[in-house]
Amino acid sequence: MRLDELRPAPGATKRRKKIGRGVGSGHGKTATKGHKGHSARSGGGKAGGFEGGQMPLYRRLPKRGFVPYGGGGIVYAVVNLKSLGGFTANAVVDPDGLLRAGLIKKSERSRVKILGGGEVAHALTVRAHRVSESARAKIEAKGGRVETLGAEVPAS
């Protein structure tokens, strides 16, 4: 089979209804919109979410929570200590290192938090924007260092 032989399965495609192309097409004159009225006008028709007068779903469901100014709290990329096992002894673990190791995404470099889930095998120098108390204690117990990054790294 070659690329030029590829075709959709029979019945998978349907021709577009060509409206407003003259009376001979069968869909001319009023272009299937009937005579006059709101629905015949440009931009006419029902609003999105209109359910024929029935109370719309978005009004029937309960509203929960409050988020000021359209945003939430500060969201951190979370990394547990057990994920740091791939780093060698005395290595520097920073947002760029976590990115290279595939533990965070490039867009998440600006805010990284280290949590204390699991154990760390050897001494590491950890540089992150936030470090939980349990993670700090476990890293320092193995002879490692924890440095808190102040300003966020640009997410470019």
- The CATH number of the domain holding residue 105 is 3.100.10.10
Structural domains of the chain, count:
1
pLDDT value at 21 more than 90: yes
98 lies in a domain?
Answer: yes
Name the maximum alpha-carbon separation found in the chain.
Answer: 86
- Is the per-residue pLDDT at 156 higher than 50? no
pLDDT tens digits, 128-141 = 999 999 999 999 99
Domain for residue 2, yes or no?
Answer: no
Owning domain of residue 141:
77-148
Cα–Cα distance for residue pair 131/6, rounded to 1 Å:
55
Average pLDDT over residues 66-86: 82
- 56 part of a folded domain: no
In a domain, 28, yes or no: no
pTM of this prediction? 0.53
Q: Residue 99: which residues within 8 A CB-CB, separation 6 or more?
A: 105, 106, 109
